[in-house]
């Protein structure tokens, strides 16, 4: 009886996605590290740029435990990039929001994300980039993927 050889790594789309993702993510983490910010900190700062949020809501949005969000927030608080205050609608709850310093930092960090994307995806036409984004969004929707990448 003849046994079939297992498929090669390169035969799997996941292999190629992981290869590209690892390189894109590592380069972005290096860019952020040059500014003293981790990827998880960047994600939290960017989320707070759009609106103030409570730690529980952030934990749900980021796919992190509340304890992990608290530790992350503590690091950003220590660097005066965010503040924590009582929620005006519910004094028992807290809300996190950006300081002026944090607010000013987000566009600069977003520019690094844009530069990183340009570096890795400039070999694709605008149409190819849109098609890749559409295909990835289809997978996200089909698989009901919700957690934001923080690593």
Sorted by sequence, the CB contacts under 8 Å of residue 75 that are 6+ apart come out as 41
Short-list 82, 49, 59, CA closest to 150? 59
Show the beta-strand stretches assigned E in the chain. Answer: 82-87, 90-98
Which DSSP string do the residues of 33-75 spell out, in sequence order? HTTT--HHHHHHHHHHHH--B-HHHHHHHHT--HHHHHHHHHH
User: Number of helices and strands (H, E) in the chain?
Assistant: 6, 2
Per-residue pLDDT reduced to its tens digit, 56-70: 999 988 888 999 999
How is residue 143 annotated by DSSP?
Answer: H
Per-residue pLDDT reduced to its tens digit, 89-104: 877 788 999 999 999 9
Query: Which residue did the predictor score with more confidence, 115 or 54?
Result: 115
| pLDDT given for residue 150 in this prediction | 67
pTM of the model: 0.87
CB 25 within 8 A of CB 151: yes
**Distance separating alpha carbons of residues 28 and 88, to the nearest angstrom:** 36
| pLDDT given for residue 151 in this prediction | 65
Per-residue pLDDT reduced to its tens digit, 32-86: 999 999 999 999 999 999 998 889 999 988 888 999 999 999 999 999 999 999 8
Distances 42 to 1, 4, 76, 97 between C-alpha atoms, Å: 55, 46, 10, 14
Q: What is the average pLDDT value for the chain, to the nearest integer?
A: 93
């Amino acid at each position: 009886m003849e046994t079939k050889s297992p498929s090669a790594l390169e035969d799997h789309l996941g292999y190629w996605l992981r290869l590209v993702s690892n390189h894109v993510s590592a380069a972005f983490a290096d860019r952020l590290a040059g500014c003293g910010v981790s990827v998880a900190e960047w994600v939290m700062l960017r989320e707070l740029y759009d609106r103030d949020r409570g730690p529980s809501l952030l934990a749900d949005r980021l796919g992190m435990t509340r304890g992990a969000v608290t530790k992350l927030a503590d690091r950003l608080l220590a660097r005066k990039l965010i503040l924590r205050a009582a929620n005006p609608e519910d004094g028992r709850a807290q809300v996190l929001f950006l300081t002026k310093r944090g607010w000013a930092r987000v566009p600069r960090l977003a520019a690094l994300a844009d530069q990183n994307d340009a570096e890795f995806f400039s070999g694709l036409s605008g149409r190819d980039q849109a098609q890749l984004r559409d295909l990835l969004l289809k997978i996200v929707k089909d698989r009901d993927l919700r957690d934001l990448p923080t690593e």
